[in-house]
């Protein structure tokens, strides 16, 4: 994405991995995706690939453009990508299960590589694995697969909605089971983050297709006055503050320092040098956004082992960042400390020589989340209160709406998600309705505030890990995983086993 004033002012919103914008001196500034330092190193993938040759085969399904309309345009078709692994499948005769990942806002291969849990447990369950891409992402592009057309304006983007995606999944799964002569095989859906929201909504809306759902880090309550807009930044604040009060204070105090420095003569140049920003562009708001991204995403991916989800990161990266601030190695001023901290996020591999604020690569194809954040996905998360690690800021719906109108010519529908999927009083509503759902949340994950954190019923359960980050349970197991993480996964396996056993029992005793 090129930096343009309007865009920068507008793009505060967007990935579910994002914490949305905040303001410095009441000025909104752009939120951007992980920097050019990203490398798709896929360490785990390489390891797994070498032992299984390939994680999956890639297939395409001819999908209908609009499930909910019957005008001629709705009948247009597109090629819908899914990944499939039948290495461990027991096959249709045994009614062996089918585990389906309900893809989220990016390239499905990226999610498959970061959902090792499904590969890890497939042999135990003799499960077929299917990862379905979300329409308008990756290679599942309507309008002949042409992104220039599909992304061009609201009349084509209009078909990018969660409800259409869920109907895609239902259609594809039903067709796939028919083709495999496996109509009686139980399907369990899995998803993390927005994919987890989709998994839980899929179980709610399509109980005849999936017998259960594991929804990991799914902030389905982050809508319309259900969850406080301060929750997201409060959790980030708490993550850093839990490491050290000094770390929290340095970061909290830095925003005004950056702003003041930027206003001084030569200040921008000083900032550029302090943060190793490339020479093509420097701007106080963009710099602050760049730093904020590092803190928010690190909090989100504060995993107990080294990882490469958004960027390559060490184990416990929040702790590492705070160490860099509390015990700086290259200079004792605030900017040097911050630079040291940010480097964990942007340059853990140590190969970057400068950071390009003017360029936002999108290696995982996440950009179109901005459309979803302008239509249905109105998730108020950008509030910062007085204690926040970020500058004080009120969530402002009107700003979002105005930006969306200016950029896409679209009005958000902020009440739509709760109308369609619920959310208000969910504990009461689902207490006596529905079954077979697991909501996992790690409390270090900024999104956990919008998650289901208590058991709803005997069969709709919450698993909460105090030390957990964003869908950590779905990652490949490693030998260094802490006990609590191994316990979480074992709980999930046991619950899913129970669902499947009960399904077989019901199937055998069907009258």
- Other C-beta atoms closer than 10 Å to the C-beta of 470 total 28
Q: Within its chain, how far is the Cα of 92 from the centroid?
A: 33
Catalytic residue among 140, 193, 388, 448: 193
Task: Please tell me whether residue 497 binds a second copy under the rule CB under 8 A.
Answer: no
CA distance 469 to 156: 35
SS3 24: strand
Task: Please tell me whether residue 427 binds a second copy under the rule CB under 8 A.
Answer: yes
What b/e string do you get for 291-323 counting C-beta neighbours within 10 Å, with b at 16 or more?
bbbbbbbbbbbbbbbbbbbbbbbeebbbbbbbb
SS3 461: strand
CA distance 269 to 261: 10
Task: Please tell me whether residue 426 binds a second copy under the rule CB under 8 A.
Answer: yes
Select the span of 206-214, 324-332, 443-451, 485-493 touching a second copy (CB under 8 A): 206-214
CA distance 508 to 281: 67
Task: Please tell me whether residue 55 binds a second copy under the rule CB under 8 A.
Answer: no
Question: Cα-flanking dihedrals φ and ψ of residue 303, to 5°?
Answer: -80, 155
CA distance 255 to 451: 29
CA distance 194 to 197: 5
CA distance 441 to 111: 18
User: Helix axis angle, 317-326 relative to 245-263, nearest 10°?
Assistant: 70
- In degrees to the nearest 10, what's the CA dihedral of 109, 304, 447, 459? 80
Using the rule CB under 8 A, which residue among 30, 34, 116, 422 binds a second copy? 422
Number of residues that bind a second copy (CB under 8 A): 66
Select the span of 7-15, 53-61, 328-336, 403-411 touching a second copy (CB under 8 A): 403-411
Catalytic residue among 285, 445, 473, 481: 445
Task: Please tell me whether residue 424 binds a second copy under the rule CB under 8 A.
Answer: yes
Within 147-176, the residues that bind a second copy by CB under 8 A are 154-161, 163-164, 167, 170-171, 174
Whether 285 is a known active-site residue: answer no
Task: Please tell me whether residue 409 binds a second copy under the rule CB under 8 A.
Answer: yes
| 77-85, strands of its sheet edge to edge | 57-64, 77-85, 128-132, 98-102, 187-192, 212-216, 437-442, 460-465
Task: Please tell me whether residue 381 binds a second copy under the rule CB under 8 A.
Answer: no
Task: Please tell me whether residue 67 binds a second copy under the rule CB under 8 A.
Answer: yes
- In angstroms, the Cα distances linking 469 to 275, 466, 491 are 27, 9, 17
One symbol per residue from 350 to 379: x for binding a second copy (CB under 8 A), - otherwise; what is it?
---------------------x---xx---
Whether 193 is a known active-site residue: answer yes
Shortest CB 401 distance to a second copy, Å:
13
Using the rule CB under 8 A, which residue among 429, 480, 487, 501 binds a second copy? 429
**Nearer to a second copy by C-beta: 39 or 67?**
67
**Nearer to a second copy by C-beta: 304 or 412?**
412
Task: Please tell me whether residue 4 binds a second copy under the rule CB under 8 A.
Answer: no
Select the span of 106-114, 286-294, 347-355, 418-426 touching a second copy (CB under 8 A): 418-426
**Nearer to a second copy by C-beta: 210 or 277?**
210
Using the rule CB under 8 A, which residue among 152, 225, 349, 415 binds a second copy? 415
Task: Please tell me whether residue 435 binds a second copy under the rule CB under 8 A.
Answer: yes
Shortest CB 262 distance to a second copy, Å:
37
Question: Cα-flanking dihedrals φ and ψ of residue 365, to 5°?
Answer: 65, 45
Whether 505 is a known active-site residue: answer no
CA distance 210 to 170: 9
Q: Are the CB atoms for 60 and 77 separated by under 8 Å?
A: no
Binding site for a second copy (CB under 8 A): 64, 66-75, 154-161, 163-164, 167, 170-171, 174, 183, 204-209, 371, 375-376, 409-411, 413, 415-416, 418-436, 459, 502, 506-507, 510-511
């Amino acid at each position: 994405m090129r930096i343009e004033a309007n865009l920068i002012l507008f793009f505060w919103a967007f990935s579910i991995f994002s914490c949305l914008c905040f303001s410095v001196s009441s000025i909104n500034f752009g939120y951007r995706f992980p920097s050019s330092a990203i490398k798709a190193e896929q360490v785990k993938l390489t390891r797994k690939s070498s032992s299984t040759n390939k994680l999956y085969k890639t297939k395409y399904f001819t999908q209908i453009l609009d499930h909910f309309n019957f005008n001629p345009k709705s009948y247009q078709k597109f090629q819908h990508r899914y990944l499939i692994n039948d290495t461990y499948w027991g096959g249709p005769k045994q009614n062996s299960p089918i585990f389906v990942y309900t893809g989220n806002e990016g390239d499905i291969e990226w999610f498959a590589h970061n959902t090792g849990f499904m590969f890890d447990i497939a042999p135990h369950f003799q499960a077929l694995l299917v990862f379905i891409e979300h329409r308008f992402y990756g290679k599942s592009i309507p309008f002949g697969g042409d992104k220039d057309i599909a992304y061009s304006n609201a009349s084509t983007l209009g078909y990018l909605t969660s409800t259409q995606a869920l109907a895609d999944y239902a259609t594809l799964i039903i067709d796939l089971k028919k083709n495999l002569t496996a109509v009686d095989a139980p399907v369990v859906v899995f998803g993390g983050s927005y994919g987890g929201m989709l998994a839980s909504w899929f179980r709610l809306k399509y109980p005849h297709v999936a017998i259960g759902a594991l929804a990991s880090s799914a902030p389905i309550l982050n809508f319309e006055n259900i969850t406080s807009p301060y929750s997201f930044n409060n959790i980030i604040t708490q993550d850093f503050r839990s490491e050290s009060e000094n770390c929290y204070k340095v970061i909290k105090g830095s925003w005004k320092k950056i702003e003041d420095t930027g206003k001084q003569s030569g200040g921008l140049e000083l900032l550029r040098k302090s943060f190793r920003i490339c020479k093509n562009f420097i701007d106080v708001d963009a710099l602050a956004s760049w730093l904020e991204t590092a803190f928010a995403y690190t909090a989100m991916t504060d995993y107990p082992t080294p990882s490469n989800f958004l960027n390559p990161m060490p184990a416990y990266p929040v702790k590492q960042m705070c160490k860099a601030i509390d015990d700086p190695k290259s200079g004792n001023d605030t900017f040097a400390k911050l630079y040291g901290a940010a480097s964990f996020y942007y340059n853990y591999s140590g190969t970057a020589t400068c950071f390009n604020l003017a360029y936002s690569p999108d290696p995982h194809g996440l950009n179109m989340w901005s459309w979803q954040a302008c239509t249905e996905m109105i998730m108020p998360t950008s509030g910062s209160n007085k204690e926040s690690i970020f500058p004080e800021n009120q969530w402002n719906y009107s700003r979002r709406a105005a930006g969306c109108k200016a950029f896409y010519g679209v009005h958000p529908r902020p009440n739509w998600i709760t109308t369609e999927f619920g959310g208000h009083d969910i504990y009461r509503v689902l207490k006596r309705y529905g079954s077979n759902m697991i909501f996992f949340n790690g409390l270090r994950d900024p999104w956990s505030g919008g998650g289901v954190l208590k058991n709803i019923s005997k069969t709709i359960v919450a698993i909460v890990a105090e030390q957990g980050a964003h869908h950590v349970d779905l990652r490949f197991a490693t030998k260094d995983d802490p006990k609590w993480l191994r316990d979480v996964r074992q709980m999930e396996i046991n619950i899913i086993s129970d669902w499947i056993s009960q399904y077989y029992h019901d199937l055998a005793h069907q009258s």
